[in-house]
């Protein structure tokens, strides 16, 4: 797998883990675990599930914040008539490309 499809896949996986269905998938995972191996359920397993749950919660919060920032920036770009049109679609690029663009323009 080349780098670009891998980065695209990783981005898509990040978005999927921020979706509410990821919590349902975790619930199914725990239910299947409890049904198939109830004798293996202990503190270590509980810690594993808690870690997965916290990861999903953090990912969800970060995704929500990012989407809110994008919505606000989209509104500002639409309100400002002098904004460059190529920047309106920059969120479709890979993170590395966006960083290079910001560095070349003197940003962060």
More confident residue, 5 or 81: 5
Q: What pLDDT is recorded for position 95?
A: 72
- Percent pLDDT > 90 in the chain is 23
Residue 2 has which token pair? 């080349």
Lowest mean pLDDT across 71-75, 84-88, 98-102: 84-88
pLDDT at 107: 54
Going by C-alpha positions, the residue among 72, 75, 70, 59 that lies closest to residue 14 is 59
Quickly tell me which residue has 């670009």 as its tokens. 4
Q: Are 56 and 22 in contact (CB under 8 A)?
A: yes
- pLDDT score of 99 more than 60: yes
pLDDT at 17: 81
Q: How far from chain centre, in Å, is Cα 52?
A: 14
Domain ranges across the chain: 55-108
Q: pLDDT of 22-61, one tens digit each?
A: 889 999 999 999 999 888 888 998 999 999 999 999 988 8
């Amino acid at each position: 797998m080349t780098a670009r499809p891998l980065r695209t896949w990783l981005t898509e996986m990040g978005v999927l883990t921020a979706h509410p269905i990821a919590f349902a998938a975790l619930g199914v995972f725990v239910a299947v675990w409890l049904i198939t191996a109830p004798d293996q359920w202990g503190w270590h397993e509980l810690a594993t599930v808690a870690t997965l749950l916290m990861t999903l919660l953090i990912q969800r919060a970060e995704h929500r914040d990012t989407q809110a920032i994008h919505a606000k920036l989209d509104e500002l770009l639409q309100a400002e008539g002098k904004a460059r049109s190529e920047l309106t679609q920059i969120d479709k690029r890979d993170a590395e490309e966006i960083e290079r663009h910001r560095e070349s323009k003197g940003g962060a």
